[in-house]
Amino acid sequence: MSLKEDILEVSRRMLMKHGFGKMSMRKIAKQVEVSATSIYLHFKNKDELLLELIDLSIANLTRAINKNVEEGDDPVTKLEKMADSFLDFAIKYPQEYEIIYMVRPEEMPEYPKEKFEQVRKIYEMLADILREGDRAGMLKVDNPLTSSYIIWAQLHGVASVIISKRLDTRIPTDEFMKQAKDHIIQGFIKQKTPA
């Protein structure tokens, strides 16, 4: 593994363990067992390092979401799989998830809008599936884009609550996740109206 990759790996781990605020170039360098100066050979500065980290995280999330979806799946199954994968990713890599959704534009002066655009692709993917389901008569969707944002917002809320450990300890995480997800998706499934 190259030094650059080492640095990214360690940074990510540090971000995951101690949060955004405590990620320091020096500490990264020490953990990679390299001089602090060396980081600057691979990244212009801390912001750039962070940016690459975000890039990677977005790529990972995008990949994760599509991982289980198969060509032949029907739209509802696809939707379910995506929702599952989304929540799984958030729970499994909370800080990576947070890099994407919780770093605010204001926090980093040089934060390029295009990163956000990149994330939007995820909603577009979702919107595509909604459209597909609508056409197939399986989903009830007025405005695919709005709906995909609604789904995502809700999933994001669920993920946030779990990640930030705000869930009541009496509620089992797994069950909460499953019920919430069902609730979210159910709202879009077309009721089979008999006769």
Partner DNA sequence: TATGAATGAGCCTTCATTCAT
Partner DNA sequence: TATGAATGAAGGCTCATTCAT
- For residue 40, state whether it binds a copy of itself (rule: CB under 8 A): no
Minimum distance between the CB of residue 19 and DNA, rounded to whole angstroms? 11
- For residue 91, state whether it binds a copy of itself (rule: CB under 8 A): no
The conformation of residue 190, written as its DSSP 8-state character, comes to P
Dihedral of CA atoms 155, 157, 158, 159 in degrees, nearest 10, equals 90
Q: For residues 140-169, which are near DNA according to CB under 7 A?
A: none
Cα separation of 105 and 150, whole Å?
21
Contact 51, 114 (CB under 8 A): no
Contact 9, 1 (CB under 8 A): yes
Minimum distance between the CB of residue 78 and a copy of itself, rounded to whole angstroms? 19
Contact 165, 188 (CB under 8 A): no
Q: Could you tell which of a copy of itself, DNA, none binds residue 112, using a CB distance below 5 to 8 A set by kind?
A: none
- For residue 38, state whether it binds DNA (rule: CB under 7 A): yes
Residues that bind a copy of itself (CB under 8 A): 17-22, 101-102, 104-107, 116, 119-120, 123, 145-147, 149-150, 152-158, 160-161, 164-168, 170-171, 175-176, 179-180, 183-184, 186-187
